[in-house]
């Protein structure tokens, strides 16, 4: 098989994968993850379940691919913020505020999507761990630049990044955000961000 034919097959396969993921996400959002079957996805696309299984071994695998796609979007947002021409403090603030709003908009306002994320977290999939590591790397880069600019105190940026992530987890973790949203005895978003940024400067 020549290179052109192989490229055509790759493109066709990717188009089919995208169609399946788009249909699955639409149905998961409407009916919920637990109530949607592979047969439902196939019916929505006008194909047989056997065709779905040519690309995904199970509904779990489809779910994992969807979560990977959502996390890729979240990472791109973080990556763009990391490269903005503003101070390290402002980039960290903007990152947490943006991720918090993303959690509210995507995972809480649309509870069916929230269900998908919770299932993924409970299964402790490697895609989530990889995403956390990549985001920590971005935060460490921002902190290192803040240290070099005299904005933050001398410290290990990798350790600082992990501590920053742990301290702000209640603003970005869907389960924690859901639990704390209506409680009045918790620090506000601005209060928590101000606190962790001040800690980097000491």
Domains of the chain: 1-57 (1.10.10.60), 59-200 (1.10.357.10)
Q: 9-39: b or e for each residue (b if 16 or more CB lie within 10 Å)? A: eeeeeeebeeebbebbbebbbeeebeebebe
d(CA 50, CA 84): 46
Is a pLDDT exceeding 80 seen at residue 142? yes
Q: What is the predicted pLDDT for the residue at 4? A: 46
More confident residue, 44 or 110: 44
Q: What is the predicted pLDDT for the residue at 101? A: 87
Closest CA to 163 of 186, 195, 128, 121: 195
Is a pLDDT exceeding 70 seen at residue 114? no
Residue 14 tokens, joined:
């990717």
| Cα distance from N-terminal residue to C-terminal residue, the chain | 62
Q: What is the predicted pLDDT for the residue at 10? A: 56
Q: Given pLDDT bands bounded at 50, 70 and 90, which one contains residue 178?
A: low
Is a pLDDT exceeding 90 seen at residue 158? yes
What are the φ/ψ torsions at residue 68 (nearest 5 degrees)? Answer: -60, -40
Hey, which bits of the chain come out as E strands?
none
Q: What is the predicted pLDDT for the residue at 202? A: 83
Is a pLDDT exceeding 90 seen at residue 32? no
Contact 108, 178 (CB under 8 A): yes
């Amino acid at each position: 098989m020549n290179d052109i034919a192989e490229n055509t097959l790759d493109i066709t396969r990717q188009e089919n994968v995208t169609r399946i993921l788009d249909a699955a996400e639409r149905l998961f959002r409407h009916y919920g993850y637990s109530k949607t079957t592979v047969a439902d996805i196939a019916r929505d696309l006008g194909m047989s379940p056997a065709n779905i299984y040519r690309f995904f071994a199970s509904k779990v695998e489809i779910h994992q691919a969807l979560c990977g796609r959502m996390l890729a979007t979240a990472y791109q947002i973080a990556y763009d913020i990391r490269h903005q021409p503003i101070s390290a403090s402002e980039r960290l603030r903007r990152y947490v505020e943006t991720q918090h709003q993303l959690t509210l908009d995507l995972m809480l306002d649309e509870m069916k999507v929230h269900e998908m994320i919770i299932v993924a977290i409970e299964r402790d999939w490697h895609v989530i761990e990889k995403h956390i590591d990549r985001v920590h790397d971005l935060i460490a880069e921002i902190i290192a630049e803040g240290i070099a600019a005299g904005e933050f105190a001398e410290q290990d940026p990798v350790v600082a990044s992990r501590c920053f992530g742990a301290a702000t987890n209640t603003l970005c973790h869907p389960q924690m955000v859901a639990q704390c949203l209506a409680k009045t005895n918790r620090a506000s978003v601005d209060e928590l961000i101000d606190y962790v940024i001040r800690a980097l400067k000491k």
